[in-house]
Amino acid sequence: MRGKSVLLVIGGGIAAYKALELIRRLAERGVKTRAILTSAGAQFVTPLSVAALTGNRVFSDLFSLTDESEMGHIELSRAADLVVVAPATADLMGKLAAGLANDLASTALIATDKPILMAPAMNVRMWQSPPVRRNLETLKSDGVLFVGPGDGEMACGEFGPGRMAEPLEIIAAIEAALTNHGGPLNGLKALVTAGPTQEPLDPIRFLANRSSGKQGYAIAGALAAAGADVALVSGPVEIAPPPHVNLIKVGTARQMLRACEAQLPADIAVMSAAVADWRPESPASGKIKKDDGRAVPEIRLVENPDILATLAKSSNRPRLLIGFAAETDHVRAHASAKRARKGADWILANDVSADGEGRSVMGGDRNQIHLITVETEESWPEMSKADAARRLVQHIVRHFQETQT
Ligand SMILES: Cc1cc2nc3c(=O)[nH]c(=O)nc-3n(C[C@H](O)[C@H](O)[C@H](O)COP(=O)(O)O)c2cc1C
C-alpha cells in the first residue's frame, strides 16, 4: 500500500475518534491521507487534530472559495486511490444510496470514480432499521465495499451490531481494496459494447431493436469487479451503468464503431451490442410527412459496418475478441459459423426466439448461453444475466492465466 493515497470521510459519530488512529496507522504504512470532515464529524474530532495527523489541510465546506481554488471538490474526490468513510453514519449511507449531494462529503462520494469502502458505525437499532438495511443493499449492489460493523457494547449503552470496525480491521480492508480491487484482471483494458443502435429515418424516427443492454452492462460490471479497466460503449438504453466503468454513449452503428476504435488497443473486447445490420440509405433531414394521396414512402437500406469483423481485422486487434450471436434457429451451428467468418476468438450464442407468451431473451433478465471457442463448445444452463456475466469473466480470467503461463 506504500505510496497509495486515501480520501478519508469522517462522519458525525462517537467512533470518529477511531478515525484519528486510522490516519496514524495509514501513515505508518506509507499511505497519504486527505480528509473530509463533515460538520457533524467536527463535533466529535477537531479539524486541528485531523490536519496535524494527516499533515494536510482538512476539507469541510463545499462552498469554500479557498477549498475550491486549492483543490476542487471533483478533483479531491478523484485524486486518491480509494475513498474510505469512517465512521459511515446512517446519514452518509442514506445520502449516497439516494444520490443526494448537499455537502462536501456526500458530493465527493457521488463524484468519485474510485472504489468506496465504508466502515458503518451506529446504534444497533439504527443499524437494524429497515431504511438502513435497504440502503446497505443498494450500496452493496452499487459496488460499495464494507468493513464491519462489529458486535459489542456501544457508547450508547446498548449491545449488538453497530460498533465501527477497529482501525486495524479497516486497514486490512483498505489493503485488500487497494491491492485486490484490481482482482485477477488488474492492469487489463476491456472494451464492451451493449444495447441497440438507432438508425435514423428522419429526425424523429429510427430503426432499432429490442436489446435492453442488460447482458452487456452486467458483463462490463463483472469485468470491472475483476479489476479490468472497462470502457462500455453503449447504444440508447434505460439502465444505469455499473460502477467503475467508463461509459461512452452512442446512437448509430457507425458511431459505435468509431467509439470502439478509439478505445483500442484493448486486451479484451466483448461485443454484446445488438448492432443494426442495415440503416436507411439517406435519412430525411426533415420529418417525412404523411400527405394524403401520396404513395407510402419506400425505405432503401444499406449495410452497416460489421464492428466485430472490423475489430478482428484491425492492426490493433484486441487480444481476446468475443462476439455474441443472437439466433432464432440452429443456434449453435449458426454461431459456430459466425465465429469463424468474423474472426472472433469466442462467440456467446443465445436463442432469442420468443417463448409461447412472446417473451424473448432480449429485454429479459435471464439468458441461456452456448460458449463457442475455436476448440470447444459448452452449453450453460439458463441463469440470470448477472450470473452469466460472472461465468464469462471466470472463463476470461482462466484464459489470461493460461496464456500468461
Ligand atoms: C452524541 C451523538 C452521537 C451520534 N452517533 C452517531 C453514530 O454513531 N452513527 C450515526 O449514524 N449517527 C450518529 N449521530 C447522528 C449524526 O451525528 C447525525 O445523523 C448527523 O446528521 C450526521 O451527519 P454526517 O453524516 O454529515 O456526519 C450521533 C449524534 C449525536 C448527537
> In this predicted model, what pLDDT tens digit does every residue of 305-342 receive, in sequence order?
999 999 999 999 999 999 999 887 788 888 899 999 99
pLDDT band at 142 (very low <50, low <70, confident <90, very high): confident
Catalytically annotated residues: 156
| DSSP run (H or E) holding 150 | strand 150-153
Residue 203 has pLDDT above 80, yes or no: yes
CA 19/CA 9 separation, integer angstroms: 9
Ligand 1 center from residue 121 Cα (angstroms): 9
Residue 395 has pLDDT above 90, yes or no: yes
Distances (CA, A) of 268 to 93, 116, 134, 364, 398: 34, 25, 35, 25, 13
Q: Residue 198 corresponds to which cell in the numbers above?
A: 438507432
If you average pLDDT over residues 52-56, what whole number do you get?
Answer: 94
User: Hey, which of 89, 107, 123, 153 would you mutate to test ligand 1's pocket, going by the most ligand atoms within 8 Å of its Cβ?
Assistant: 89
Ligand 1 center from residue 13 Cα (angstroms): 4
Ligand 1 center from residue 40 Cα (angstroms): 7
Ligand 1 center from residue 124 Cα (angstroms): 13
| Paired sense of beta strands 301-303 and 278-280, if any | antiparallel
- Contact assessment for residue 216 and residue 248, using Cβ atoms and an 8 Å cutoff: no
Ligand 1 atom closest to the CA of 41, numbered from 1: 27
CA 121/CA 154 separation, integer angstroms: 10
Q: Which fold has domain 5-181?
A: Rossmann fold (3.40.50)
Residue 26 has pLDDT above 90, yes or no: yes
Ligand 1 atom closest to the CA of 105, numbered from 1: 26
Q: Where exactly does CATH 3.40.50.1950 map onto the chain?
A: 5-181
In percent, how much of the chain has pLDDT > 90?
Answer: 67
Better pLDDT: 362 or 155: 155
Cα 323–chain centre separation = 20
Residue 156 has pLDDT above 80, yes or no: no
Better pLDDT: 405 or 194: 194
Mean pLDDT of the chain: 90
Q: Residue 342 corresponds to which cell in the numbers above?
A: 468474423
Residue 44 has pLDDT above 60, yes or no: yes
CA 172/CA 162 separation, integer angstroms: 19
CB burial of residue 248 (10 Å; 0-12, 13-18, 19+): middle
Residue 55 has pLDDT above 80, yes or no: yes
Cβ-Cβ contacts under 8 Å for 170 (sequence gap 6 or more): 22, 84, 86, 117, 119, 147, 148
Ligand 1 atom closest to the CA of 164, numbered from 1: 8
If you average pLDDT over residues 387-391, what whole number do you get?
Answer: 91
CA 76/CA 99 separation, integer angstroms: 18
Better pLDDT: 271 or 74: 271
CA 195/CA 239 separation, integer angstroms: 10
- Contact assessment for residue 115 and residue 181, using Cβ atoms and an 8 Å cutoff: yes
pLDDT band at 12 (very low <50, low <70, confident <90, very high): very high
pLDDT band at 105 (very low <50, low <70, confident <90, very high): very high
CA 307/CA 317 separation, integer angstroms: 12
φ, ψ (nearest 5 deg) of residue 10: -105, 115
User: Hey, which of 17, 91, 156 would you mutate to test ligand 1's pocket, going by the most ligand atoms within 8 Å of its Cβ?
Assistant: 91
CB burial of residue 8 (10 Å; 0-12, 13-18, 19+): buried
Ligand 1 pocket (Cβ < 6 Å) reads 11-15, 38, 40-41, 87, 89-92, 105, 121-122, 126
Question: How many beta carbons lie within 10 A of that of residue 304, not counting itself?
Answer: 18
Question: How many beta carbons lie within 10 A of that of residue 277, not counting itself?
Answer: 14
Q: Where exactly does CATH 3.40.50.10300 map onto the chain?
A: 184-404
CATH number assigned to the domain covering 184-404: 3.40.50.10300
In 3-state terms, what secondary structure has residue 80?
coil
If you average pLDDT over residues 11-31, what whole number do you get?
Answer: 96
Cα 228–chain centre separation = 11
pLDDT value of residue 365: 79
Residue 362 has pLDDT above 70, yes or no: no
Better pLDDT: 86 or 60: 86
pLDDT value of residue 192: 98
pLDDT value of residue 360: 57
Ligand 1 center from residue 29 Cα (angstroms): 29
User: Among the ranges 86-95, 166-175, 295-304, which has the highest mean pLDDT value?
Assistant: 86-95
